[in-house]
Amino acid sequence: MWYNDHVLFSAVIVENALELVKSDLNNNLNNILEKNIGRSLHKIPNTNLISFISKKKMNWEISAVNTSTLSIDKISGIDGNYEDICWLTKEIVLLAKKNQIVQLTISKENIWKEFVNKDQLNLKNISRISVSPNGKKIAIVGE
């Protein structure tokens, strides 16, 4: 994912896992920031943070790297090992979880709630989720 015209954050395959790498094309530098991450990298709206799924622990977590300091902080745990997320706002994240989409409001109690009724979706095994830049449309990939 391009952060600006010369800095790229990417999930790079190393052996059987992904690593979060920051690449600065102006300086030809590649920094490994985190090992064993998920495939879902996202800019968190209106922040200088990029989120990713950390798979270092048995229970996976949503984490974020500060693009200025490169510090990494946990945002929230995930109930189950799911890795497809997207952000509606800087405080609301969506998670694809089997045949449902759940949401978490970061500033509240850290409780995942149903975003859309799973019976209305008529989808199974949701594998990708994305929100349009203006936040008005959601794209969902599933069976």
pTM, to two decimals: 0.90
Q: What is the pLDDT of residue 121?
A: 80
| Sequence-separated contacts (24+) of 88-92 with Cβ below 8 Å | 88/45, 88/131, 88/135, 89/45, 89/46, 89/135, 90/44, 90/45, 90/46, 90/47
pLDDT, tens digit (0-9, with 9 covering 90-100), for 117-142: 777 788 888 889 999 988 889 999 98
| Number of residues in the chain | 143
Q: For residue 66, what pLDDT is reported?
A: 97
With bands split at pLDDT 50, 70 and 90, how would you rate the model's confidence at 31? very high
Q: What is the pLDDT of residues 37-58, one digit of tens each?
A: 999 999 999 999 999 999 999 9
Give 50-92 pLDDT, tens digit per residue: 999 999 999 999 999 999 999 999 999 998 889 999 999 999 9
Predicted pLDDT at 80: 85
